[in-house]
Structures are given as structure tokens and as C-alpha cells.
Chain A
Amino acid sequence: MAELLSLSEAVEKVVHDGDSVAFEGFTHLIPFAAAHEVIRQRRRDLTVIRLTPDVIFDQLIGAGCVRKLVFSWGGNPGVGSLHRFRDAVENDWPAPLELEEHSHAGMANRFAAGASNLPFAVLRGYVGTDLPARTPSIKPIECPFTGEQLTAVSALNPDVGVIHAQRADREGNVQLWGIVGVQKETVLASERSLVTVEEIVDELEPVPGAIVLPHWTVTCVAEAPNGAHPSYAQGYYDRDNEAYRAWDPIARDREKFQQWLEEICATEGANA
């Protein structure tokens, strides 16, 4: 049964220095509040995993929490570059960043393989690109039935899977809907999991198309209203496109970023 904890207790319990941590949520339901708590608790040497690093990983990378990034698209959607990510890759600031780079199709299949307890997934992908030469977790494979050449990608089984959802009940059953990305796969593939939610309710009312993660698949649940901001939580609040635009000048400038970092560290449990 999932434990209901405060966000700071939950992060302390499941995220440790040196862990591999997947923070998922494809544009929607991005677990910003949980990442900010990881920054506040000064976790170090993390391998962070996510299809679309987005502003959330720009913040973790700039804050010095990250040793390695596993990803498939690292930009500020609709705005431009992730400048903290670029500064780390191009200038080793604040520290060198190791990359393991894939396509979305490859990453999605790696999570699905991890959730299925398979060592790898098979797809039609990457052929002819320069990615396999750079990424050891992509290999050609022959179909044992037809002899066709396909591509294998190794499974992802993170130490920790972190997602944000609309709500959970008091037993820790989790309900999410709208764009659901690879959140279910992330929780099922990970050794431990932390789900932040907009609200904890007495009873989960059915929602068409919703995913329910039973409480026995989740390590802990923490209530974090507005916890996906500046991304959005369908049914609760819209994407704050202005905040994504406002991130650009902060991230471009190391000093402005340091100011942001000090502010976030001083804000106990709140999600700015």
C-alpha cells in the first residue's frame, strides 16, 4: 500500500544521491514541485531520465543535481533552447553532463520494456541515423522468425519514477487523465515511485479514459496542489505559456539563474 507523505518526506524517502530518477509527464502533468524539492534537498550525482527534458531538467541540471541525462528531446517547447542544459553540454557549467540520447519512439519503448520486465524492446527506428554510433543502448537485431533487421533498445528500470497526477484516494490509488505520456510505464518500470497529486480525495470518481494506478504499484503519494505548474493539470489549470517564455531570460544568464535557485531553495514546499 502506498504511503501518504508530505512532499519533503517523500523525496527524502525515495530519492537518494546517485540514483537514476525518471521524472515523466509529456508536456502535461510534469512533476515540477517534486523536482524543486529534489533541488532543495540538494541531491547529487543523479542520472535523470525523461523524453522531453523541458524546463524541469534545465532547473535540475543548472542546480548541479545531475551527472547524466537520458533523453530524446531537450528544448523549451515553442520557445527555444534549454540554456542551462546547453551551458552544461557546451561549457561544462556547473559540471560536465554525460548524455544518453534516443528518439521518442526509442525512449517510450525502453520504458514499456522496463514495465514488462524484458531486457529490451524492438522497434523500426534509428536506421541510417548517427544515433546508434553514439548511444550504446541502441543495437541492430535480427528477427528470429523472418530474419528481418530491426532495432533493439535496452529496457529502462530507474531506481525511482516520479510523476504528477490529478488525484489519489486515501489508500494511495492514483488517477490521471488527458495526455498520459509514459507515466504508467514509468511507475511500473521503476524500483520505487513517488506520485504527487493535485488533491487527495475520499473516493476516485471515474473519468472517461483515465488511468488508475492501484495503490500496491506506488511507493508513496504526496499532495502538491499546483505541482505541475508551469505545465498543466487537465481539469485543474492550464499550461502557463507565459512562464515558459519567462524562463528563457532567466536560463540564459548564470547570475539570474543563481537568483532563481536561491529563491526556490528559500521557498519551503511551495511550487513557484
Chain B
Amino acid sequence: MSEFSSDDFMTVAAARALRNGVTLFVGIGLPSTAANLARRTHAPDLVLIYESGCIGSKPTTLPLSIGDGELAVTADSVVSVPEIFNYWLQPGRIEVGFLGAAQIDRYANINTTVIGGDYDKPKVRLPGAGGAPEIAALCGEVIVIVRQNERTFREKVDFVTSVGYGDGPGSREKLGLPGKGPIKVITDLGVLEPDPETCELTMTQLHEGVDIEQAKEATAWDLKVADELATTGPPSAEELTALRDLLDTQKAAAA
């Protein structure tokens, strides 16, 4: 039971960052796994909101998509897609947005559109924006979960799909983005938070067993490190059991 991967560590650290009872706009993939883990551990009253229009879903299995039937039948309410964005996200009713990224820069701007080449002829065509630009702009605050490596942590993203802190201090205000922006970026190595003055992502926490040099090597810009670097305690037996059970529910549902 004590065996776990760096991805498990990331998922557990991300789940811990979610306070019980908050309203949470959940992206698919890593964010959805972490949010459902939080609901099964310390945050049973987390309100999961999916862009498919499901509000207050309480899935017993881990969904593969953001619109699995399980999310709809366990929801407090199911609304149309125009409604979820216009009536629920846009007015700032949702406290936390939980996003993934393909690239992220030092000001936590996110790219999920194209990598390399130019827009019309990219090296890699990614899925695109989905709900993310408005989630990043309009949720009270944003948490990003993403694996840390040099391909992903770029000095500048190839395409700004969703705005973090733009060009730095004052950018969000100038653009009129009402939400606070990304307050935490949780990776397989640790946690980055924006510097309160410069908005630059700063390594504030390392997962137990990770060296700061590893984090620097996995970052394509000159990574700033907090004076007091905290350590994430390893996943507890309870957290690991809950995570395994959760992942098993997806396999069972697929069988």
C-alpha cells in the first residue's frame, strides 16, 4: 500500500488543496480525478460542476468524460450548455476553477491550442480551448494541475488559450478579468504559487523526496524558489486506498 507514483502524489496534493464545501468547476482528466478523490476523503461536500451542465454531481464511479451519464443522474441540477456558462460561470458564482494545461508560462498563462510551427501549420495540434478561457477569467480563483517538465513549463507559451497573470502585475485588472487567477499550480514535483508582488510562479512546496534541482531542471525559465520551502507529506494510507478505489471504479465501469 505504501507504493505510489509521482502522479499519485500530484493527485493527492491537488485533492488536499480543495476546501470542503466550495463550488468547483472541474476540467476533465487530472482535475476530475483529484476533485473526486477530495470528495471521497476530506471534502464530501465539494460541489462539482461540469461544463456539460451538471451542477452538484456526486458520481460513484470516476467519469471518463465531462458528460458521462453518471454525472447527470447524480447531479442536483442539469442545465443546458449556454446556461452553465451564462448563468452560472459568467456572474462569478463558482468559487474555484480546476484546470489542466499542455504548456504553462511563468505568469501561469495556459496553452491548450497549438505547439510549435505557426497556428495554421502547427507541429502539434492540441484540442483547443473548451471551457477553459472563461473558467480562468471568471471563477473566483483557479487551481492548475499539470506535470512539470521542460516541454510544459515554458518561458512563453506558444499560444495563450487561457489567461493567468498576462504580462505580470496589473494585467488581469487591465484586461478586466474579475477572478483572482491561478492561486496554485500543483505538479508531480511540488506546488508553485504566484509571487504576491511580481505574479511570477514561485516554487513554494516540494513533494517529499523531490530535490529543488529536479524542479529547476523541469522548468524552462529561471525558476524562483520561496525562502521557506514547504514539504508535501506523502499520501496517507487512507488517501491511497481512496485513490485506488476511485480508479478501480473507472475500470469496473468500462468492463
Task: Answer whether residue A27 sits at the interface, using C-beta atoms and an 8 A cutoff.
Answer: yes
Q: Which residues of chain A are near B36, meaning CB under 8 Å?
A: none
Closest Cβ–Cβ distance, residue B55 to chain A (whole Å): 11
Closest Cβ–Cβ distance, residue A203 to chain B (whole Å): 24
Given contacts A127-B176, A129-B161, A149-B176, contact A234 B73 (CB under 8 A): yes
Given contacts A72-B130, A129-B161, contact A78 B125 (CB under 8 A): no
A-B contact count (CB 8 A): 173
Task: Answer whether residue B103 sits at the interface, using C-beta atoms and an 8 A cutoff.
Answer: no
Q: Pick the residue among A72, A181, A184 that contacts B53 (CB under 8 A).
A: A181
**Interface bin, chain B:** 35 or more
Given contacts A179-B54, A239-B69, contact A128 B160 (CB under 8 A): yes
Task: Answer whether residue A105 sits at the interface, using C-beta atoms and an 8 A cutoff.
Answer: yes
Task: Answer whether residue A102 sits at the interface, using C-beta atoms and an 8 A cutoff.
Answer: yes
Contact between chains at A178 and B72 (CB < 8 Å): yes
Task: Answer whether residue B38 sits at the interface, using C-beta atoms and an 8 A cutoff.
Answer: no
Contact between chains at A182 and B69 (CB < 8 Å): no
Q: Which residue of A lies closest to B158 (CB)?
A: A130
Q: How far is the CA of A77 from the CA of B64 in the complex (A)?
A: 7
Q: Which residues of chain A are near B177, meaning CB under 8 Å?
A: 127-128
Given contacts A27-B65, A28-B67, contact A74 B132 (CB under 8 A): no
Q: Which residue of B lies closest to A77 (CB)?
A: B65
Contact between chains at B78 and A179 (CB < 8 Å): yes
Q: Which residues of chain B are near A209, meaning CB under 8 Å?
A: 78
Inter-chain pairs besides A104-B51, A109-B86, A130-B161, 17 sampled, C-beta below 8 Å:
A26-B67, A52-B130, A74-B125, A90-B123, A101-B129, A104-B81, A104-B131, A108-B80, A108-B85, A109-B85, A125-B137, A128-B137, A128-B171, A130-B159, A134-B119, A179-B54, A181-B80
